[in-house]
Structure 1
Amino acid sequence: MSFDKEKVLNQFNLMCQNTLMQTLKIEFIDVGPDFLKAKMPVNPSVHQPMGLLHGGATVALAESVGSAASIMFIDRENEEVRGIEISANHVKSKRSGEVFATAKMIHKGRLVHLWEIKIVDENDTMISLCKLTNIVLPLKK
């Protein structure tokens, strides 16, 4: 796959305007032929009542990155992506700073994409490990 890295990142970040991704301040920061990476700040806006990163915010980050990554592998004129299953194992808590989610493809079928999304902090400490299944559907025009 040949692509302009900055153009792809800019397109994905533009898609986030006026969405949950903008609310959570998710920003796509790196892309390659087999991965997509984003970051999200950890602050009170994504905390649960105990002052820790909310698991739901973590899962929203994972699904955002994995779904966007699938978009790189479809015909956007005729197809669209939907997440159909996500699982998450939260292994460490986080109170502040940033988390980084990297989606790597496990399986690329014609209709189903399976992604592993690792979420780490700025010290590369594992926070969560997620798995996302996306389905590729015909675009309804």
Structure 2
Amino acid sequence: MTYSIPEHPLPTWLADLVSPLDDKLGVKVREISPTRCVVTAPLDGNTQPMGLWHGGGSGVLVETAGSLAAMAHARTFDHSAVGTELSVSHLRPPRGHQVIATATAVHLGKHTTTHTVEIVDDEGRICAVGRMTCQVIGQ
């Protein structure tokens, strides 16, 4: 289980945080910092019975991108982060081979973080938008 891909080296602390669900979905981390996290997942194998991207996959990507960015923030003062709120609005089904979720910090506090997340397809169309709030906790 790994989030890494050869062309995007990741921080060593991330190796122990791979979620089994993310691993099943094929989630890969392209970029990670407190202010921005970019993750991808393949469309193939992550569809609902109609053959479209499963909306639950969007929820996973919003949670993963937002939580990893929150974790990167919390680690700057030896803390951790856990999710407390998740919302996703589905706008259109993605096309192509993968979806890309980009979390952008809205609030990076001592006790909470909030990130907005845009999910786009291979054509660059916004397919879903979400928000992830995390609580910063001591280790």
Give the structure-2-normalised TM-score.
0.84
Distance 1:86 1:59 in 2: 8
For structure 2, list consecutive stretches of 5 or more residues without a partner in the other structure.
1-7
CA contact (8 A) 1:120 1:127 kept: yes
Query: Superposition RMSD on alpha carbons, in Å?
Result: 2.2
Distance 1:136 1:33 in 2: 12
Q: Which of 11, 14, 20 does residue 12 from structure 1 map onto?
A: 14
Identity %: 25
Q: Note the alpha carbon deviations across 1:46-94, whole angstroms, 9 max, x for none.
A: 1111111111111101101110111111137842211111111100113
CA contact (8 A) 1:51 1:95 kept: no
Distance 1:33 1:137 in 2: 15
Distance 1:59 1:13 in 2: 22
Q: Secondary structure at the match of 1:37?
A: strand
Distance 1:136 1:128 in 2: 26
For 1:28, the equivalent position in structure 2 comes to: 29
For 2:4, the equivalent position in structure 1 comes to: none
Distance 2:71 2:65 in 1: 10
Could you tell me how far 1:31 is from its partner in structure 2? 3.4
For structure 1, list consecutive stretches of 5 or more residues without a partner in the other structure.
none
Q: 1:72 to 1:86 in 2, by over 3 A?
A: same
Distance 1:32 1:20 in 2: 22
Q: Secondary structure at the match of 1:114?
A: strand
For 1:42, the equivalent position in structure 2 comes to: 43
For 2:114, the equivalent position in structure 1 comes to: 114
| Aligned residue pairs, count | 132
CA contact (8 A) 1:116 1:129 kept: yes
